[in-house]
Structure 1
Amino acid sequence: MSESMALFQNAFYVGNNFNAIIYGMQLMVYFMTVRVMQSRKHKHAPSDKFFLLFTTIILLLNTVFVATEAVFGEEMWVVNADYEGGMDAYLFDFASVWYQTFGTAASIVLNLLSDGLLIYRCWVVWDDLRVIVFPAIVYLASFSLGIAQLYESGRPHSNYFAGLAKNLGIGYTSCIIGLEVLVTSLIASRIAFVGKQFGRSMGPNNVGGAYTSAAAIIVESMLLSTLTGIAYIVTFALGHQLEIFFLSIYVMMTCFAPQLVVLRVLSGRAWTRDKSSMFGQDSKLEFTGRSTTRIDHEESEKEKGSHVMTSSVSNSSSVKVEDV
């Protein structure tokens, strides 16, 4: 093995092993999602079928990526172990083989679908179209760069990690990850602000904690995808040989993170536009179910910040709040 490519080859091998581990986690989350859909207690919403279809499509796209990376590794390290020039020569000569291009295309489409969901969830959390105008423009720009990178990296004897393909890749990846950082920050800050405000209003009886907890922030903002994306773009832009490892992890997280969002939505624990409107300046907080809890925020003439809470109880002496 060439000494200059030793770290890259090892990072590629380790990345493939992590792909297999994370893919198993994705399958588990997917079957949990299907189980929730089939549960008799599940209250079906018109969007449920869309979310199930969405999570199925991104899982299939990620399956293509995992399979093509595994096949290319096998061809390079096992089947063609005696290739003239060794593994580095094989990598250089066949980096743009058709199934590798197919896997790259699947990862780009997966990334775009994931970020599309992220922008949609940002709109849901903020309940304001103005917030997502700029992210939507950046999203369209990243789509164009992604197509250009795919074309260039798929040309004969081209390489995803070298030449014009790499320059286009840096532009595309910087654009898409910058978008993720922006939208993730918007979602996380909104949930954190609402959680703090709501916690002050409710005190220890914070029935909305499930929607403003640390777990809610991590899942709703797809923080796992954004953080791994930052690690990838840094190594990719610097040309560090660990770039292939962080690319693998990032692609896997662009599937795993939205899967968690979909599971949370179908389980009735995710933010909806109704929940977002609860925290408007003049809106009321309501959790509907077998009984209803309502909080009206008003300012009295004598003292600002006073809160009046009314609760309706159905066949019970205690208020029972169910997730919508």
Structure 2
Amino acid sequence: MSDALFQNSYYIGNNFNCILYGVELVLYTMTMQKLLSHKTRRTRPDRFFIFFSTANLILITIYVAVQSVFGEEMWIVNADFPGGQGAYLEEFAAVWYQTMGTTASVALNLLSDGLLIYRCFIVWSDVRVVIVPGLLYLATLALGIVELWASGAPHDDFFAGLAANLGLSYYATSIGLNVLVTCLITGRIMTIARTSNKYLGAEISQTYVGVAAIIIESALPYTLSGIAFLVSYGMDSGISILFLSIYVMFTCVSPQMLVLRVVEGRAWRRNQLTDASTTLNFSSNGLPGASDYTNSTATRSAVVGDGGIHVHLQTTRKGDRSLEDVGKFAVSSDGSI
């Protein structure tokens, strides 16, 4: 593929690469500042997120650099190549550093999909939910290896021939996995949101089941950009290279947004929606003994389990540090108490 639409899309895609790479650098810096600022000994999750974030940054740097260098070689260094830019692309599409860039994008995809499947397990707290995504993940791994072999063969082209057919299978499987996991996470969060908003109020539930939670936890931009690329790639459209650039960049940016949300303590935790404390002012209203609770402090905790949301309320009397239970109740997944 070497028409004018493809060349223009390649150029615009490189510009989007630079913009989103800047976003990734900001997210990475914020994440590392949060992780490295811990005064206590770093936990295993901290070490994992340091490794994951750094690996993501290295892989996306390779991809962005490769795309920029190839564009420079095609449009500037070899501007007078016999046959023009299209002929240069067909001749050097499988150059070694392009294969390295494709390998980086496949590895990045595997890292991101793995994190997304893990977050799906965290949100559902049920291993059965991730069985099908896990099988699709293994299929993605196998197809990714075959795709790298096909696209890296001498004089082969990622956008034509056998490599294109294998690439379509690979991306269809990978993006199908994204869509499935995104739907599972979004559905779970929206189900909990209906119950938590009703019984806990928007203040507590918004952090964990709001719009931002749905977009970030489900890696929605990653999935939507993947669908756009898959459709254009399947249609053999020249604009597919633009959507590929955006898709690969969100393969890095969306997981990094999720990691930052986790290290800041705002992401969904396993079996727990939130623990929050609020100050409530109770008026006596002439009720016997009610004055004992005027300006008291109420602690409200909510835990998400398999049966629904379990709520525990406690108060502290004015001038007294002891806690008294106000009540406990459970909200089932169907909304009953």
Quote the residue 1:125 is aligned against: 123
- Cα deviation for residue 132 of structure 1 reads 0.1
- Structure 1 CA distance for aligned equivalents of residues 256 and 319 of structure 2: 37
TM-score, scaled relative to structure 2 = 0.83
Percent of aligned pairs with the same residue?
A: 50
- Structure 2 CA distance for aligned equivalents of residues 138 and 268 of structure 1: 30
State the one-letter code of the partner of 1:269.
R
- Cα deviation for residue 49 of structure 1 reads 1.2
Quote the residue 1:195 is aligned against: 193
- Cα deviation for residue 45 of structure 1 reads 4.1
Quote the residue 2:314 is aligned against: 311
Of the three residues 253, 256, 263, the one matched with 1:259 is 256
Quote the residue 1:142 is aligned against: 140
- Structure 2 CA distance for aligned equivalents of residues 11 and 201 of structure 1: 50
| 3-state SS of 2:234 partner | helix
- Cα deviation for residue 217 of structure 1 reads 0.5
1:76/1:132 CA distance change after superposition, 3 Å: same
Of the three residues 45, 67, 70, the one matched with 2:68 is 70
Quote the residue 1:97 is aligned against: 95
- 8 Å CA contact retained: 1:295, 1:310: no
Structure 1 gaps of 5+ residues are 279-284, 298-304, 320-324
- 8 Å CA contact retained: 1:191, 1:212: yes
1:219-298 matches, within 5 Å, as 219-275=216-272, 286-287=275-276, 293-295=300-302
State the one-letter code of the partner of 1:77.
W
Quote the residue 2:58 is aligned against: 60
Of the three residues 77, 80, 102, the one matched with 2:78 is 80
Quote the residue 1:301 is aligned against: none
- Cα deviation for residue 203 of structure 1 reads 3.2
- Cα deviation for residue 37 of structure 1 reads 1.6
- Cα deviation for residue 208 of structure 1 reads 2.8
1:154/1:310 CA distance change after superposition, 3 Å: same
- Structure 2 CA distance for aligned equivalents of residues 125 and 230 of structure 1: 23
Structure 1 consecutive aligned stretches of length 4 or more whose deviation exceeds 2 Å: 38-46, 285-289, 291-297, 311-317
| 3-state SS of 1:274 partner | coil
Coordinate RMSD, CA, aligned = 2.7
Quote the residue 2:177 is aligned against: 179
| 3-state SS of 1:114 partner | helix
Structure 2 gaps of 5+ residues are 279-297, 324-337
| 3-state SS of 1:207 partner | helix
- Cα deviation for residue 39 of structure 1 reads 3.1
Show CA shifts across 1:262-282 (max 9, x none). Answer: 00010011111131xx6xxxx
Count of aligned pairs between the two proteins: 298
- Cα deviation for residue 246 of structure 1 reads 0.3
- Structure 1 CA distance for aligned equivalents of residues 316 and 95 of structure 2: 65
